[in-house]
């Protein structure tokens, strides 16, 4: 049994979960439908735990991406992380999703040599973005705005597949790896565990509540 077993959860873009043991990524899984966070997050965690040959009770920490991202997706991911952490009595730590993508690029075979941007889709023809120094420190953002208003710098992140005007680098990551989130999340700036929206949610009148309590604890 590893001394550390860290679960990473991020629902700022898609449903992504991963495991790390403090020194390496053990596994990563994703469900690439940003509109089905409620239905898919818990089954994906169950699958991750089972395929990794561990149990939920072995988890020692949970790292959750708090956005920026859409209201529903962030709420589901953070609520699930909080619930598992409370039941197991382990720390839950929130980090900026853009910081994770920046760290992921810096861990690649060809990291950026100068300042760079991370960008994700904010819908409404806008993006969430932040600027980073070559050492990975965030120097501006996170912010929300139009793609053509960004500084002219290399860009990584999901928005590069949607907005051709962004200067996407060939070696830059497009999707977040939740295994990397689990591995490096303890080293990134603490963002708290409240959702980072950056703008008012598209709220609708509340209907019957859907349970986000994970079955993985049974």
Does residue 86 sit in the same domain as residue 10? Answer: yes
Q: Does the bond joining 142 to the residue before it have cis omega, within 30 degrees of 0?
A: yes
Beta carbons of 157 and 147 less than 8 angstroms apart: no
- Cα 35 to Cα 13, 21, 41, 106, distances in angstroms: 9, 30, 11, 29
pLDDT of the chain, 218 residues: tens digit per residue? 678 999 999 999 889 999 999 899 999 999 876 566 567 899 999 999 999 999 999 999 999 999 999 888 899 999 999 999 999 999 999 999 999 999 999 999 889 999 999 999 998 889 999 999 999 999 998 999 999 999 999 999 999 999 988 877 878 999 999 999 999 999 999 999 999 988 655 444 444 444 445 555 54
Angle between helices 37-51 and 71-88 (to 10 degrees): 40
Let me know if residue 135 belongs to a domain.
Answer: yes
- Claim to verify: residue 157 and residue 145 sit in the same structural domain: yes
Determine, yes or no, domain membership for 122: yes
Is residue 154 in some structural domain? yes
The strand pairing partners of 142, in sequence order, are none
- Residues 87, 26 share a domain: yes
CA diameter of the chain: 50
Which tokens belong to 48? 């991750």
Q: Write the CATH number for 110.
A: 3.30.420
Measured distance CA(108)–CA(4) in Å, rounded: 24
CATH number of the CATH domain containing 190: 3.30.420.40
Q: Which domain holds residue 65?
A: 6-97+176-217
Distance CA 93, CA 192 (A): 7
Entry pTM: 0.88
Partners of 123 in the β-ladder: 126
Tell me: cis bond preceding 91? Omega within 30 of 0 counts: no
Residues 130 and 145 grouped into a single domain = yes
Q: Which of 24, 47, 4, 27 is nearest to 178 (CA)?
A: 27
| pLDDT number for residue 115 | 96
3-state secondary structure of 92: strand
Q: Same structural domain for residues 164 and 192?
A: no
Task: Write down the pLDDT at residue 3.
Answer: 82
Beta-carbon count within 10 A of 71 CB: 15
Query: Do residues 34 and 120 make contact, with C-beta atoms less than 8 angstroms apart?
Result: no
Grouping H, G, I as helix, E, B as strand and the rest as coil, residue 145 is strand
- Same domain, yes or no: 146 and 127: yes
Q: Domain tally for the chain?
A: 2
93 and 150: one domain? Answer: no
């Amino acid at each position: 049994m590893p001394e550390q077993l860290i679960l990473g959860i991020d629902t700022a873009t898609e449903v992504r979960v991963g495991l790390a043991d403090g020194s390496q990524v053990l596994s990563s899984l994703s469900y690439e439908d940003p509109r089905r966070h409620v239905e898919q997050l818990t089954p994906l965690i169950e699958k991750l735990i089972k395929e990794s040959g561990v149990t939920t009770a072995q988890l020692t920490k949970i790292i959750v991406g708090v956005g920026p991202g859409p209201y529903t997706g962030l709420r589901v991911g953070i609520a699930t992380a909080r619930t598992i952490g409370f039941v197991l009595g382990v720390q839950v730590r929130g980090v900026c999703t853009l910081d994770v993508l920046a760290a992921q690029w810096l861990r690649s075979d060809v990291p950026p040599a100068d300042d760079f941007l991370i960008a994700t889709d904010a819908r409404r023809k806008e993006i969430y973005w932040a600027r980073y120094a070559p050492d990975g420190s965030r120097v501006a953002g996170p912010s929300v705005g139009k793609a053509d208003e960004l500084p002219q710098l290399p860009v990584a992140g999901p928005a590069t597949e949607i907005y051709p005007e962004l200067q996407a680098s060939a070696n830059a990551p497009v999707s977040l790896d939740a295994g990397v989130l689990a591995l490096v999340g303890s080293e990134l700036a603490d963002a708290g565990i409240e959702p980072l929206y950056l703008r008012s949610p598209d709220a609708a009148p509340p209907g019957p509540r859907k349970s986000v309590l994970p079955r993985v604890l049974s």
